[in-house]
Amino acid sequence: MNWEALGTLAEIVGAIAVVITLVYLSIQTRLTRIATEETSKHASQQATNAVMEMYSRWRGSLLDTADVSAVLIKARGSEALTAQESLIFSTYFEELFYVAVTAYRSGLYSASGHKESNDALNVAAVISANPKAHEEWIRMMPFLANISEEFVADVQTLIEKQSSRRSSKENEGTGESVDQR
């Protein structure tokens, strides 16, 4: 064998090695992309589970003690609360507001797929159903705005919408016409 044939053979072997390397790298790139996607899905599911766990703990606190349940029932009936009951009531709703604003922010700043609007809607519904909760909301708004001004604005907008819908329904029930121009 002469040097030219040996050089040609070396070029062929080198070209085959380059092709094998490219195939290997493309397979590794694909596997890395799949692993990254799976990791992202897992992280997203964990974030969603964390949000659900926060809300579950808040709801669970209602069931943990009869005191909390009794205070909420009393507050819904617009009865005056004792100092101890007021503290229980305030703490209960502070916890809801902090859970909701935390969940809201996790939706804004993560890939959880969690919808921030659900957090604001949940809080607005609770506030609209309970006048004393609305008082707590007004008291807590400045603190919550320090965490997320967007959350506070979204909840306020939803409360106003729910209030105007309620007013419209009440006007319809009394037979008054409302000029919507």
Mean pLDDT of the chain: 80
Question: CA 115 to CA 110: how far, in whole Å?
Answer: 11
pLDDT confidence bin for 176, thresholds 50/70/90 = low
Output phi, psi for 81, to 5 deg: -100, 145
> Do you know the residue count of the chain?
181
Query: Does residue 16 have a pLDDT over 90?
Result: yes
Which of 15-24, 37-46, 83-92, 105-114 has the highest average model confidence (pLDDT)?
15-24
**Cα 87 to Cα 82: distance, rounded to the nearest angstrom:** 9
CA-based R_g, the chain, Å: 30
Tokens of 108: 């804004």
Over residues 143-167, the pLDDT tens digits come to: 888 888 998 999 999 988 887 777 7
